Structure 1
Amino acid sequence: MDSVKLVNVIRGDHVESIHRGHIAVMDAEGKLLYFAGDPSIKVYARSSMKPLQAIPVVETGAADRYHFDDADLSLCCASHSGEKMHTDRVMSILKRAGMTEGALQCGTHIPHWQDTYKEIIRSGRELTPLYNNCSGKHSGMLVTAKHMNESLHDYYELQHPVQQRILQSVCDMADFPMDDIEIGIDGCGVPVHGLPLERLALSYAKMANPDKLPVARQQAVSRIKKAMVAAPEMVGGTNRFCTDFMIAGKGRFFGKAGAEAVYCMGDNETGMGIAIKIEDGNARAMYPVAVEVLKQLDLLSGQQIQELSEHYRPKLKNARQEEVGKLVPSFTLRT
């Protein structure tokens, strides 16, 4: 099945560009409720898997041993902006486990939050893995390895017990054969999991409605999603969709972006899981789609849509900061 048009990019009165893609909406029983495009298309989940990757942090007992609060666990699910609140907490997590930022194997990039980057330049400091948007996830992996008395230098490699526990968690939550999960390498160096889009939606549906899961898994996923909505500023940061979305949702929704324009959400009230993939990988299209999906499912109030308006129909501006266009969702979900 081919992709479908999801977003029009409008300049003036003309549709200048089109973003196509796929959407899947599942329940926890594995039933496809709504879709657009091809819900069976296999995609790399990228950072949308972080809430699932955090499951072993809880289930092994590492989170309890190192006194994780909601903000700590939320940061393990994050693609954070590198704001001080993020980097300070990564350091706190590592310190509690007797490690330094030198243990992080996530590599280095410029932080998303420009004020942080400007401060680093002014002070003459070097960029370190601490500012990587995945350093929270990696700190969770490291403390799990430390708790389990496993090697720390290679925790990011596929055959390491840390990654094997994560792979098993993904397999269980997505209800998908492990041998059929495509394995690639993510931007931060750890394995990334390729699954049909509808299986990603199913994994979020099981988080939203974990009643049929084993008790230990119920407790773990409930704790993770509670942490995300209790400390949404850790998942993204200032002016980031994940954070603004969960604030607007007031505890009802949890969601996580992934690179190459993947977005996954769970609705705690209906138990639905939603997965979105923008075909061309352009992240600017996935937030309007995410809000439009919830609007079509009648899950957002008018007030919530207004609170998310800058993400829902973002304005295009020129170098003079004049509004010259906008992004407008343009699709209808099928049952």
Structure 2
Amino acid sequence: MKPIQVYRGNYVESAHDVHIAVVSGKGDLLAYYGEPDRLTFARSSMKPFQALPIVESGAMDTYHLTEQELALFCASHSGEPVHRNTVAQVLQKINLEEGHLQCGTHIPTDIDSYNQLIKDGGALSPYYSNCSGKHTGMLAGCVNQKMDVDTYRELAHPYQQQIIDVIAAVSNFDREKIVTAVDGCGVPVHRVPLQNIALAFSRLAYSSNWKTATPERRNSLERIRDAMGAHPEMVAGTNRFDTDFMKTYGGRIVAKGGAEGVHCFGDKETGIGVAVKIDDGNGRGASVASMEVLKQLKIGDSSLWDQLDSYYHAPVLNARQEKIGEIRPEFKLKDLQ
């Protein structure tokens, strides 16, 4: 039996394999399922670390950027008005325009915004891209360091090289072994073993365990974690797993999903980091897997899990929005201590 089962009625219609790594604050592998060392493009789950040079460059202070804006730099947002308006606000602060964004565009998750755009006779723009916050943050980091803004998304650009330095350090993975490709929004994306990604989220959640990091780096990680926890609505949006997950846990959890079935989170109280990869890339099983890990690790209790049940036993809906099945976890973590 595969670990993620998709039911139509009372019958299994489809199933997904999953790889999971659970890492302690000291970097020890506590539990796993599948291949915990699977080389993985963490996609948008890396956004909190891609935002680290913004904080470390001093751009937050130079341009009087807010914690809400910092949370948006880590986002895969829904394109709601608050997201689009905040992107425009930051660009104004750094004296750039929407045309400087090189993230492309797509139909936003927030269909109400898209429908209103059509009614108004407007056209999709980079503001609607779920990565526009990340790109705006990159531009802020570049402007503050007097780096070229026209080539900011190219691998050889110094800002992208700073990001590789950060990912190598926070994941404790040899920089020379980090393979890059191109993400959906045009910037580099990094391939790292799953358990190293889990370690990065452990350090994001509880940087004090990272004894070899400088106080400045630990403080920067804490600032990003706290911004995401204080403004979870900026990290995803209405009725989105990461937003509801962090809101329900009241800042205890820092979480970020990524394309192709990736989901990662860290627990501020225990320092545990978790990285999940649905093997076939179907994201519908990611929240289900993460919720099952939460329950097996006993992070929180039933009062919290029940609030997130729609992400745990995720409903399968028909075109009438009727529940006609659900997605269920059917796995047990191995070597659980």
Q: Provide TM-score, normalisation by structure 2.
A: 0.97
Is 2:15 the counterpart of 1:37? no
Residue number among 32, 47, 50 corresponding to 2:47 in the alignment = 50
Shift of 1:209: 2.1
Q: Deviations over 1:171-221 (max 9, x none)?
A: 000111111111000000000000000010011111122121210101100
- Asked if the contact 2:206/2:222 (under 8 Å) is kept, the reply is no
Shift of 1:29: 1.8
Aligned residue for 1:101? 98
Is 2:298 the counterpart of 1:298? yes
Aligned residue for 1:81? 78
Residue number among 126, 133, 136 corresponding to 2:133 in the alignment = 136
Aligned residue for 1:204? 201
Cα distance in 2, alignment partners of residues 234 and 322 from structure 1: 29
Cα distance in 2, alignment partners of residues 201 and 317 from structure 1: 32
Cα distance in 1, alignment partners of residues 37 and 166 from structure 2: 20
- Residue 286 of structure 2 aligns to which amino acid in structure 1? M
- Asked if the contact 2:181/2:189 (under 8 Å) is kept, the reply is yes
Give runs of aligned pairs for residues 154-233 of structure 1, distance below 5 A: 154-211=151-208, 212=211, 213-233=213-233
Cα distance in 2, alignment partners of residues 132 and 23 from structure 1: 29
Q: Deviations over 1:48-95 (max 9, x none)?
A: 000011100000101111112211000000000000000000000110
| Greater Cα offset, 201-210 or 242-251 | 201-210
Shift of 1:324: 1.5
Paired residue secondary structure (1:170): helix
Give the unaligned 5+ runs of structure 1.
none
Q: Deviations over 1:3-54 (max 9, x none)?
A: x832111112211111111000011322100100000110101000000111
Cα distance in 2, alignment partners of residues 239 and 103 from structure 1: 30
Shift of 1:323: 2.2
Aligned residue for 1:238? 238
Cα distance in 1, alignment partners of residues 202 and 31 from structure 2: 13
| Greater Cα offset, 20-29 or 84-93 | 20-29
Aligned residue for 2:5? 8
- Residue 156 of structure 1 aligns to which amino acid in structure 2? R
Shift of 1:120: 1.0
Aligned residue for 2:327? 327
Cα distance in 2, alignment partners of residues 321 and 92 from structure 1: 36
Give runs of aligned pairs for residues 277-292 of structure 1, distance below 5 A: 277-292=277-292
Cα distance in 2, alignment partners of residues 203 and 320 from structure 1: 41
Q: 1:320 to 1:149 in 2, by over 3 A?
A: closer
Aligned residue for 2:146? 149
Q: Provide TM-score, normalisation by structure 1.
A: 0.97
Aligned residue for 1:117? 114
Cα distance in 1, alignment partners of residues 267 and 334 from structure 2: 19
- Residue 27 of structure 2 aligns to which amino acid in structure 1? G
- Residue 45 of structure 1 aligns to which amino acid in structure 2? A
Cα distance in 2, alignment partners of residues 326 and 271 from structure 1: 31
Paired residue secondary structure (1:5): coil
Paired residue secondary structure (2:115): helix
- Residue 64 of structure 1 aligns to which amino acid in structure 2? D
Give the unaligned 5+ runs of structure 2.
none
Aligned residue for 1:248? 248
Paired residue secondary structure (1:246): helix
- Residue 72 of structure 1 aligns to which amino acid in structure 2? E
- Residue 319 of structure 2 aligns to which amino acid in structure 1? A
Cα distance in 1, alignment partners of residues 317 and 191 from structure 2: 35
